[in-house]
């Protein structure tokens, strides 16, 4: 099963929130098997599964205790083998999520390190403090607080860029790198068709110094040996099999580095996730604030990445949603009045871009942010930490909650809405309560209804995914931004071997007349989120609220 990743679409599953088959309130691997026909119906080529390896679940599996075994809460190795085989039957390949920047402090390597075993101690980053209880550097953990944890026994600290139970690995150590290669080969032999590498651009630390102007990220992001490490991993493992697709999650990266990470001939990865376009409702790098999304900035970033990555023969993953992000229809669309139109509009923008689109579970039915009204309903360690940090900074509990509601990763983690039953079909009605509450709007937003409705968001995503397969211009074409400075319109042109695709979208909920639009006379309108055609004549388009349409010639 070798696929062209440029024609492919990936569906991301967060198993814990997808489907629970044994009634314990947690989604599981058998739940994924059960829903493979649904995913097949959508038309995707790959499924990226977030981690289900043995883990204490402090960060929902991104804290891996054992890369070779399955957390019993998710299932068994037999389930994984069956899952891969069942995917294969349906022409769907699996991408597993490999977390190699850190391991759980319960991982055997860390336990041995803590016993004082020097071989394993060097798998981690232990450093002396500055004395008087001052850690080695002032770097901040991404989940809040200082990034170093004191170990009395050694009078040293270990580095954790994420939770205190996620200890960073020392990639300088060749034995560690060999262990990583072993893990990848193990899963390749099981028939895995791809990998997603968690925060992989953080593995090479430049030095351990105070960052007087920031949080430390300049010392560990896109570090000095990162390309060397990726090439080495590529050559020793997945590089030997051209059928394997890889995507690196690149935290706060630069485009120059991505030219190389995801270059056609650079021998590193197939493609990259970058996040700059999802920080347009932040204040700089500060996520825990409430500011309106900056549309101009969003367009600038997307177009900049689109055109420059193309110039450098490098490949993007294109996406709005994942398990770390709020739901896009709530974020950039309108979950109330124009729910369906805005969800389809946002899908149109992503799926016609140059890159491999990723659909996050529930996005294809327009799932929204949570309806949580109390902090006790949230589960994510990052949200809970920052709820406290915001109040320590002087915010009231209710203001802190409003910020958490807008930005929490739990917005993307409520159970998949399969139907309108008590637990949305995520779990049976007589199951244990889901580990995180179902959104009350599942009576209105659910997969069962949308499968019956030809005009649903699901059916629209299905068409978008099929279009990429049918039209080379979407998969291979060049991209030219249109009206990059227009305050309402998101539009671009794709061209390939004499064919042309024009994508136009009104990003807002008010009618808008776009003067200077391209003339689409003589083009076929191939998809749109309103039943009748856009009114367009001689370069003037009248776009209805959140209207999106695509023309082909």
DSSP code for 132: T
DSSP conformation class of 416: P
Alpha-carbon span 264 to 151, nearest angstrom: 44
Contact between residue 359 and residue 12 where contact means Cβ atoms under 8 Å apart: yes
Which of ligand TEU, Ca ion, none does residue 99 bind (CB under 5 to 8 Å by kind)?
ligand TEU
Tell me the two tokens of residue 281: 């409702």
Of the pair 5, 100, the CB lying nearest ligand TEU is at 100
Beta-carbon contacts of 250 under 8 Å, excluding residues fewer than 6 positions away, are 200, 201, 222, 257, 258, 261, 272, 273, 274, 275
Residue among 149, 249, 281, 341 flagged as catalytic: 249
Quick check: 199 binds ligand TEU (CB under 6 A)?
A: yes
CB of 290 to ligand TEU, least distance (A): 15
Residue 22, binding choice from Ca ion, ligand TEU, none, Cβ under 5 to 8 Å by partner class: Ca ion
Q: Minimum Å distance from CB 415 to Ca ion?
A: 11
- Interface residue with ligand TEU among 18, 124, 158, 162 (CB under 6 A) is 162
Among 79, 382, 486, 547, binds ligand TEU (CB under 6 A): 382
Closer of 28 and 59 to Ca ion (Cβ): 28
- Angle at CA 451, nearest 5°, toward 449 and 453? 70
For position 58 contacting ligand TEU by CB under 6 A, the verdict is no
**What is the enclosing helix (H) or strand (E) of 368?**
none
Considering only residues 20, 198, 222, 268, which one is a binding residue for ligand TEU as defined by CB under 6 A?
A: 198
Q: Which residues bind Ca ion (CB under 5 A)?
A: 20, 22, 24, 26, 28
- Per-residue binding letters, 93-122, with ligand TEU (x by CB under 6 A): ------x-----------------------
Per-residue tokens: 351: 């799926």
Q: Which of 307, 297, 331 has the alpha carbon at shortest distance from 490? A: 297
Per the structure block, which two tokens stand in for 487?
Answer: 């305050």
- Should residue 142 be labelled a site residue for ligand TEU when binding is judged by CB under 6 A? yes
455 is catalytic: no
Give 318's Cβ-side CA count (13 Å radius): 28
CA distance 54 to 491: 45
> How is the beta sheet containing 540-543 ordered, strand by strand?
512-515, 540-543, 535-537
DSSP per-residue string spanning 51-111: --EE---TTTTSS-SEEEEE-TTT--HHHHHHHHHHHHHTT-EEEEEE--SEEETTSHHHH
Please spell the DSSP secondary structure of 155-182, one letter per residue. Answer: TEEEE-SS-TTEEEB-TT-HHHHHHHHH
Look up 249 and say whether it is catalytic.
yes
Site for ligand TEU in 418-457 (CB under 6 A): none
Token pair listed for 33: 């098997």
Cβ proximity to ligand TEU: between 43 and 362 the closer is: 362
User: Which residue matches tokens 């809040």?
Assistant: 144
Q: Which does 26 bind (CB under 5 to 8 A by kind): ligand TEU, Ca ion, none?
A: Ca ion
Question: Which of Ca ion, ligand TEU, none does residue 28 bind (CB under 5 to 8 Å by kind)?
Answer: Ca ion
65 is a site residue for ligand TEU (CB under 6 A): no
Cα–Cα distance for residue pair 58/74, rounded to 1 Å: 15
Whether the Cβ atoms of residue 157 and residue 145 lie closer than 8 Å to each other: no
Q: How far apart are CA 236 and CA 119, in angstroms?
A: 23
291-350 residues in contact with ligand TEU (CB under 6 A) are 323-324
Which of Ca ion, ligand TEU, none has residue 222 at its interface (CB below 5 to 8 Å by kind)? none
Rounded to a whole number of angstroms, the minimum distance from the CB of residue 38 to Ca ion is 18
Q: The tokens of 11 are what?
A: 């569906």
Catalytic residue among 198, 222, 382, 486: 198
Residue 205 near residue 149 (C-beta atoms within 8 A): no
CB of 62 or CB of 110, closer to ligand TEU: 62
Of the pair 322, 439, the CB lying nearest ligand TEU is at 322
Pick 249 or 486: Cβ nearer ligand TEU: 249
**Longest Cα pair distance anywhere in the chain, in angstroms?**
76
Site string for ligand TEU, 458-497 (x = CB under 6 A): ----------------------------------------
Which positions from 222 through 261 interact with ligand TEU, judged by CB under 6 A?
A: 249, 251
The site partner of 24 among Ca ion, ligand TEU, none (C-beta below 5 to 8 Å per kind) is: Ca ion
Q: Does 59 bind ligand TEU (CB under 6 A)?
A: yes
Min CB(162)–ligand TEU separation in Å: 4
Structure token digits, residue 45: 């080529």
Residue 278 interaction partner, one of ligand TEU, Ca ion, none, beta carbon < 5-8 Å per kind = none
| Residue 380 site contact among ligand TEU, Ca ion, none (CB < 5 to 8 Å, cut-off depends on kind) | none
Q: Which positions touch ligand TEU (CB under 6 A)?
A: 59, 62, 99, 142, 162, 198-199, 249, 251, 287, 323-324, 382
- Just list the catalytic residues: 198, 249
């Amino acid at each position: 099963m070798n696929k062209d990743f440029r024609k492919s679409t990936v569906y991301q599953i967060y198993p814990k929130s997808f489907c629970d088959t044994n009634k314990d309130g947690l989604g599981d691997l058998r739940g994924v098997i059960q829903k493979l026909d649904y995913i097949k119906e959508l038309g995707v080529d790959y499924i990226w599964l977030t981690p289900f390896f043995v883990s204490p679940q402090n960060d929902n599996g991104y804290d891996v205790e054992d890369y070779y075994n399955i957390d019993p809460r998710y299932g068994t190795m037999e389930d994984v083998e069956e899952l891969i085989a069942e995917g294969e039957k349906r022409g769907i390949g699996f991408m597993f999520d490999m977390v190699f920047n850190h391991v759980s402090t319960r991982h055997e390597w860390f336990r041995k390190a803590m016993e004082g075993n020097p071989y394993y101690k060097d798998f981690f980053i232990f450093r002396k403090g500055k004395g008087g209880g001052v850690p080695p550097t002032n770097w901040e953990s991404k989940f809040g607080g200082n990034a170093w944890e004191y170990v009395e026994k050694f009078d040293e600290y270990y580095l954790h860029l994420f939770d205190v139970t996620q200890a960073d690995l020392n990639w300088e150590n060749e034995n560690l790198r060999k262990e990583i290669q072993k893990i990848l080969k193990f899963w390749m032999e099981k028939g895995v068709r791809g990998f997603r590498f968690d925060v992989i651009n953080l593995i090479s630390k430049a030095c351990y110094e105070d960052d007087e102007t920031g949080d430390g990220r300049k010392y560990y992001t896109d570090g000095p040996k990162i390309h060397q490490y990726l090439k080495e991993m590529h050559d020793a493992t997945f590089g030997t099999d051209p059928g394997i697709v890889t995507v690196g999650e690149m935290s706060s990266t630069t485009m120059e580095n991505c030219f190389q990470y995801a270059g056609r001939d650079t021998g590193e990865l197939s493609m990259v996730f970058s996040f700059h376009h999802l920080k347009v409702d932040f204040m700089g790098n500060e996520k825990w604030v409430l500011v309106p999304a900056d549309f101009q900035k969003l367009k600038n970033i997307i177009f900049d990445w689109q055109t420059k990555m193309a110039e450098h023969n490098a490949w993007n993953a294109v996406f709005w949603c994942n398990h770390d992000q709020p739901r896009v229809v709530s974020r950039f669309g309108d979950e109330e009045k124009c729910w369906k139109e805005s969800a389809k509009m946002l899908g149109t923008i992503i799926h016609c871009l140059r890159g491999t689109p990723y659909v996050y579970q529930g996005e294809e039915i327009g799932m929204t942010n949570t309806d949580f009204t109390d902090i006790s309903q949230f589960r994510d360690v990052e949200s809970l930490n920052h709820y406290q940090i915001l109040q320590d900074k002087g915010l009231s509990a209710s203001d802190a909650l409003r910020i958490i509601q807008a930005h929490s990763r739990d917005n993307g983690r409520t159970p998949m809405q399969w139907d309108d039953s008590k637990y949305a079909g995520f779990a049976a009605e007589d199951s244990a309560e889901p580990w995180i509450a179902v959104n009350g709007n599942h009576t209105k937003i659910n997969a069962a209804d949308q499968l019956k409705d030809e005009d649903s968001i699901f059916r629209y995503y299905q068409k978008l995914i099929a279009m990429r397969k049918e039209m080379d211009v979407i998969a291979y074409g060049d991209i030219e931004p249109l009206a990059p400075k227009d305050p309402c319109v998101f539009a671009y042109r794709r061209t390939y071997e004499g064919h042309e695709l024009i994508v136009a979208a009104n990003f807002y909920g008010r009618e808008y007349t776009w003067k200077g639009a391209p003339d689409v006379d003589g083009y076929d309108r191939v998809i749109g989120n309103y039943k009748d055609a856009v009114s367009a004549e001689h370069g003037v388009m009248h776009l209805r609220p959140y209207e999106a349409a695509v023309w082909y010639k």
